[in-house]
C-alpha cells in the first residue's frame, strides 16, 4: 500500500508540473500587452509615459526572457507567491484567499448533496427497476445531463426570485458572517451547480447496482432469507459504491466549471467570477494563478480518490 501511495503522489506531482507548464505557456500567448491594457482602462492613463510603462513591466517581471519568467513562476508556486495582479494591484495569493472560500463552500455543499442524493436515487431506480420510480429517476437524470446550467438558473430566478420574491437573485454572504442570509443566498446557486453531477452520479449508481445485483453473493443473501433492507444495505449498496467514488473527481470538475457560469449569473464574488473578469481585464497573472489552483485541487481530489480506491479494492494496487 505504501509504495502504491508513493507512486500515486509522485504521479500527481508530475501532472501538476505539466499543468503549470500548460497554464504558463498558454497565458503567455495572450494577445495584447497586459500593461498597456491596464493603463488604457485607467482614466489617469493618458498621463503615462513610456518610462512609467517600463517601470510597470519591470515591477511585474515582464521585461525578462520567457524562460526566466517561467523559472520565477515555478519558484513562486513552490514558495506560495503567485505574482501580483495587474488590475487589483495585490498579491494573487491574497486575492485568491478572498475569493476561493466562497467557491469552495458552495462547491462542497453541491458535492455532498449531489453525491448523497445521486446515490440514493440511483439505488432506488435499480432496485425498483422498470417501475415508476425507475422512470422518474431516469427522467431526472436525463434532464440533469442536458440542461444548460444557466437555464435552471433562469427558472429558479424567475420563479423564486422574481415572481415569489423568496430568494435573493444576486450576491452572497459567508455563513460565518450571517448564517441565515448565507443559506438563502446559497439555495439557487447550489441547485444549479449540483444538478449535473447529481444526474451523472444517479446514472452511474443505477448501472453499478444493476451489475452487483447479478452477483452470486446477492443471490446467496436472498436465498438465506435475509430481509430486503439487509440485502440492499449490507450487500448491494456497499459493493456498488466503489465505482461511484471515482466520480467524485469528475463531479468536482463539473462543479468548478459550472461555478464560472453560476457565479457570473448570481453575481457571487468567487473564483469563477474572478476568472471571467480577469479574462476581460487581460489580467493574466490572476488567470494563471486561478486556473492553477483549480487544477491543483482537482488533481488532489483525484489523488485521494485513487488512493481510497486502492484501499477499497486491493487488486488495483498491483497494477
Give me the residues that bind another protein (CB under 8 A), please: 11, 14-16, 18-19, 21-23, 26-27, 29-31, 142, 145-151, 154, 157-158, 162, 203, 207, 210-211, 253-254, 256-258, 260-261, 264-265, 275-276, 279-280, 282, 287, 291, 294-296, 298-299, 302
| Phi and psi, residue 84, nearest 5° | -115, 135
Report the nearest approach of another protein to the CB of residue 260 (Å): 5
Report the distance separating Cα 295 and Cα 249, nearest Å: 11
CB of 269 to another protein, least distance (A): 16
3-state SS, 256-304, equals HHHHHHHHHHCCCCCHHHHHHHHHHHCCHHHHHHHHHHHHHHHHHHHHH
Q: Which is nearer to another protein, 145 or 226 (CB)?
A: 145
- Nearer Cβ to another protein, position 28 or 52? 28
Provide, rounded to whole angstroms, the least separation between the CB of residue 274 and another protein: 12
Taking the complex as a whole, how short is the minimal distance between the CB of residue 287 and another protein, in angstroms? Answer: 6
- Contact in structure between 9 and 303 (CB atoms under 8 Å): yes
**Closest CB to another protein among residues 190, 303:** 303
Q: Which is nearer to another protein, 183 or 237 (CB)?
A: 237
Cell of 193: 451547480
Residue 91's φ and ψ, nearest 5 degrees, are: -65, 140
Residues 6+ apart with CB under 8 A from 52: 39
Minimum distance between the CB of residue 40 and another protein, rounded to whole angstroms?
Answer: 17
Closer to another protein by Cβ: residue 157 or 221 = 157
Report, in Å, the least distance between residue 9 CB and another protein.
14
Burial of 31 (C-beta count, 10 Å sphere; 0-12/13-18/19+): exposed
Shorter beta-carbon distance to another protein: residue 154 or 311 = 154
Amino acid at each position: 500500500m505504501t509504495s502504491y501511495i508513493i507512486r500515486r503522489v509522485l504521479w500527481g506531482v508530475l501532472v501538476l508540473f505539466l499543468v503549470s507548464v500548460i497554464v504558463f505557456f498558454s497565458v503567455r500567448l495572450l494577445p495584447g500587452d497586459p500593461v498597456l491594457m491596464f493603463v488604457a482602462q485607467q482614466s489617469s492613463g493618458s498621463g503615462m509615459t513610456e518610462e512609467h510603462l517600463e517601470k510597470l513591466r519591470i515591477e511585474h517581471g515582464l521585461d525578462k526572457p520567457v524562460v526566466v519568467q517561467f523559472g520565477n513562476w515555478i519558484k513562486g508556486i513552490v514558495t506560495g507567491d503567485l505574482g501580483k495582479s495587474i488590475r487589483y494591484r495585490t498579491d494573487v495569493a491574497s486575492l485568491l484567499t478572498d475569493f476561493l472560500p466562497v467557491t469552495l463552500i458552495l462547491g462542497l455543499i453541491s458535492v455532498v448533496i449531489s453525491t448523497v442524493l445521486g446515490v440514493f436515487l440511483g439505488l432506488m431506480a435499480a432496485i425498483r427497476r422498470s417501475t415508476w420510480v425507475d422512470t422518474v429517476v431516469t427522467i431526472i437524470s436525463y434532464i440533469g445531463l442536458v440542461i444548460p446550467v444557466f437555464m435552471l438558473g433562469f427558472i429558479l430566478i424567475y420563479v423564486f426570485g422574481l415572481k415569489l420574491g423568496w430568494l435573493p437573485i444576486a450576491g452572497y454572504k459567508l455563513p460565518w458572517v450571517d448564517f441565515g442570509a448565507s443559506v438563502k443566498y446559497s439555495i439557487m446557486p447550489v441547485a444549479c451547480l449540483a444538478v449535473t453531477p447529481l444526474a451523472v452520479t444517479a446514472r452511474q449508481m443505477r448501472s453499478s447496482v444493476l451489475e452487483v445485483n447479478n452477483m452470486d453473493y446477492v443471490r446467496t443473501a436472498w436465498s438465506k432469507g435475509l430481509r430486503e433492507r439487509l440485502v440492499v444495505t449490507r450487500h448491494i449498496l456497499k459493493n456498488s459504491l466503489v465505482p461511484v467514488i471515482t466520480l467524485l473527481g469528475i463531479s468536482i470538475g463539473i462543479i468548478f466549471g459550472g461555478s464560472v457560469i453560476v457565479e457570473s449569473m448570481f453575481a457571487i464574488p468567487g473564483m469563477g467570477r474572478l476568472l471571467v473578469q480577469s479574462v476581460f481585464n487581460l489580467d493574466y497573472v490572476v488567470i494563471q494563478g486561478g486556473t492553477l489552483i483549480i487544477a491543483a485541487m482537482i488533481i488532489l481530489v483525484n489523488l485521494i480518490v485513487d488512493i481510497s480506491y486502492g484501499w477499497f479494492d486491493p487488486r488495483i494496487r498491483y497494477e
